[in-house]
Amino acid sequence: MLKNKLLFISPLVVILVIALFGLTLIPSVQQKPKNLPIALVNEDIGAVIPQQGKVNMGNTITNMLKKNTTSTDGEVSLVKWINVESKEDVLKGLDNQEYYGALIIPENFSQKQSSLMTSKPEKPEISLLINQGMNPAAANLTSQMLNTMGDNLENGIQTQVLQGLAKQNVSLKVNQLTLLTDPLQVNVENVNGVGTASMNGSAPVALFQPLWMSSIAGAVVLFFVANKLTFVNRKQKLYAMLTQVLAGTVLSLVAGFGLAWISDLLGIQISNFMDISLFLTITYFAFFLLITAVLSWLGMKGIPIFVLILFFGAPLLSMAPEMMSTFYRDYIYSWLPMRFMVEGLRKLFFFHQGFSFSGTTSILLWIALGSFFILVLSVLKVQGSASDKGYYEEKKARATKG
């Protein structure tokens, strides 16, 4: 063994493998959220305060929030506030996955805040909506930020009211003092909740790996079966390819319905078994055709491509695009075919949307169609250095001799 050069090269090989797959950790380590879209609804109509005129605390709060989250040092801000007219519009945007959360100031906010300085105080309220199903990590971050903002608003209101009372030299009554210890009612609501049986909202990502690996396995097995056949003309090769696709369709049904059944058996909440099974079936079929198309041109040399896609793509699937670096978001995540699977499953799991052939499903079908076209073209490719005619004549002679 000491005379074998591979023995001394092995440490270098280990270092290269560690370095290569260590790169897959970069997106998770360097998470830096930026421009998280959060809706801001200000329905406050204002109030008239003696000696001050009309005030609108809703406008004051919105201006303060935007100022505090706007970057002044050239860096991208953490939050991207989006003005929305009403709560109804916000709910539609949350269902369409446009916002990770929302802050809503009701129309009587100024009136109730000004009442804190009177003998009949009323506690003002704000509503915080968290779009929990959109992305677990981003939802948790949004919840922390909005709750911190609520605490800061409460402290600000308390300070403002006490300063106003001090200027007027007004003594506090018991009911006022009680309210001033907690002068703001913050109502937090999770929208499109992930429930208690969805692996904390990560079920769509968790289902990707078994489906991806099984699609690789199915494509490789059928590739070996087709590769052992002897063709005497292109027509036979085309028939074999179509049979391969037909077999892949059967595998898709087995994988789609099988994975949904196993997930349900393991306790993952499957909201609609048929819808999720059909979507997984189409997803498997798209992945199967994509892998088969590559194998038809590159052979087994193409397998490392899909293994690398798995290792480099899997960490990104659990992240929100706003939490990725520009490079990973634009040049890796945007080109991952499996992201359409995760996005489609999120809609089915958490956004109460049924199966349809639009949206992510249509994209997966286009991937399948494009892969099928590339697969058909492989039937026409020239084999080796000989012409097709010579190649098939040689195959025919070998088959006859055999």
Domain boundaries, the chain: 31-191, 203-401
385 pLDDT above the threshold of 50: no
CA distance linking residue 345 with residue 231, whole number of Å? 41
180 pLDDT above the threshold of 90: no
360 pLDDT above the threshold of 90: yes
What does the pLDDT look like over 53-62, one tens digit per residue?
Answer: 788 999 999 9
The predicted pLDDT at position 287 comes to: 98
The predicted pLDDT at position 261 comes to: 97
Confidence of residue 374 (pLDDT cuts 50, 70, 90): very high
400 pLDDT above the threshold of 70: no
The predicted pLDDT at position 14 comes to: 86
In the sheet where 36-42 sits, what is the strand order? 79-83, 36-42, 101-105, 125-131, 185-191
Question: How large is the average pLDDT for residues 383-391?
Answer: 46
Question: How large is the average pLDDT for residues 21-40?
Answer: 82
308 pLDDT above the threshold of 50: yes
Mean model confidence pLDDT for the chain: 87
For residue 187, what are the β-bridge partners?
A: 127
322 pLDDT above the threshold of 50: yes
Confidence of residue 49 (pLDDT cuts 50, 70, 90): confident
Question: How large is the average pLDDT for residues 64-77?
Answer: 71
Domain 31-191 listed as CATH 3.40.50: no
Residue 248 and residue 285 in contact, taking contact as beta carbons nearer than 8 Å: yes
The predicted pLDDT at position 382 comes to: 53
Which alpha helices (H) appear in 228-272, and where do they start and end? 234-265
Confidence of residue 192 (pLDDT cuts 50, 70, 90): very high
Q: Which is it for the CA torsion 319, 321, 325, 329, positive or negative? A: positive
Question: How large is the average pLDDT for residues 383-394?
Answer: 48
